[in-house]
Amino acid sequence: MTAWHPLLFTHWYAVARSDEVRARPVAVTLLDTHVALARTEGGTLIALEDRCPHRHAPLSAGCVSGERLACPYHGWSFDADGRLCEVPGLPSDTAPPTVRVRHFATCELDGFIWLRPGDAGADQPHAMIRATDPRTRRFLWRTRWSAHVVDAMENFLDPLHTHFIHAGLVRRDGQRVQATARFSPTDAGFTVDYRGMPSQSGLLYRLFESERTAERAHFAAPGSARLEYGYANGSRVVIDLHFTPRTAAETDVFITLHVEGRWAPAWAVRVFAWPFLKRVNDQDMAMLGLQARNKRRFGQRKGASTSLDIVRGTLEHFWTHGALPTDAPAHDVRMML
């Protein structure tokens, strides 16, 4: 089990789609913390440690009864605060034991359930996600990558692999253009603005996009990454990926696509764009799997880097130290994209 930095537990993480969490409990894992997640009959979210304190049966295998979550083994039931409310078979004049199950703070944003694994920390997820308008959401999905969270996030934020892993689909190696990437630290993480690319050489751009006026990548700690595209007609497309490490070897990825100011109904995105987006995801999953297996073969050797590896240092620092670096200056990087 990985020794995660304690400060990582003070942040919020996406752990499930909102429509997945109903009366039947689901088991979720983040930072090697196991949680039973359910929705009571009144709509309240229950997030409890996935272990009954009686005989250690998983509460995620239990059921919701009213406003309580009941263990499947002997029926002990707990409220949203983890308080033991009933022990079936115990005489009415006998007080139940004063035991509790650890409970976790939860909220719902942009179609996902968010959870804070620590007892203390931020009151809510970061502003970038709170500001997203659910009315512009056209797509919502979740998947799981067999990769460390840093490798998974770097993959999404790194444009230079797209000429090879997504050759012809996202970019073409033989059609690179000179571009400048402007790295700027923020209170939440960083942004990278790519300049000099009004178009992109791959099939996805030709099928679904128009002249770009802006291309920006965002990182907001702990695990949210965004690609934002602005267009000459005033429209905007935002792709958000929220990365939640289950363990050091597995990362859950929660994905939304928002479209503002242009025709793109949800059904059209599903029918026409989804097959291409799914192909991109599958290609990234395959490469991350190869990378992870090879890192296990050779041990955790430090990788070589160049100025083109803009985001790696900040991501590694945050996930190692639980905080953003204080000495990451804004700077420009020239590259051929």
- What domains can be seen in the chain, in order of their start residue? 6-116 (2.102.10.10), 128-336 (3.90.380.10)
Distance of CA 162 to the CA centre of its chain: 21
Q: Which of helix, strand or coil describes residue 185?
A: strand
User: Residue 8's CB: how many other CB atoms inside 10 A?
Assistant: 24
- The low-confidence residues of the chain, meaning pLDDT below 70, are 1
CA atoms within 13 A on the CB side of 42: 8
Q: In the prediction, which pLDDT does 302 show?
A: 86
pLDDT for position 1: 61
Neighbouring CB atoms inside 10 A of 162's CB total 22
4/121 Cα distance (integer angstroms): 16
CA distance 331 to 190: 12
Q: Tokens representing 41?
A: 């009959």
Looking at residue 127, what is its pLDDT?
87
* Residues 231-251 as b or e (16 or more Cβ within 10 Å = b): beeebbbbbbbbbbbbebebb
**Rounded to 5°, angle at Cα 192 from 187 and 196:** 150
**pTM of model > 0.85:** yes
With beta carbons less than 8 A apart as the criterion, state whether 221 and 234 touch: no
| Other residues' Cβ atoms within 10 Å of the Cβ of residue 318 | 25
Q: Give the strands of the sheet with 63-65, arranged side by side.
A: 63-65, 68-70, 77-78, 84-86
The contacts found for 313-319 with CB under 8 angstroms, 24 or more apart, are 314/185, 314/189, 314/190, 314/219, 315/150, 315/153, 315/154, 315/219, 316/150, 318/189, 318/221, 318/222, 319/5, 319/8, 319/149, 319/150, 319/222
Look at phi and psi of residue 188 and say left if phi exceeds 0, alpha if psi is from -120 to 50, else beta.
Answer: alpha
Which of 106, 120, 105 shows the shortest CA–CA distance to 9?
Answer: 120
Q: According to the model, what pLDDT value does residue 131 have?
A: 86
Q: What is the pLDDT of residue 300?
A: 73
The pLDDT value given to residue 161: 96
Looking at residue 198, its pLDDT comes to 86
Quickly list DSSP for 228-244. Answer: EEEETTS-EEEEEEEEE
Instruction: Mark residue 225 as left, alpha or beta (left: phi above 0; alpha: psi -120 to 50; beta: remaining).
Output: beta
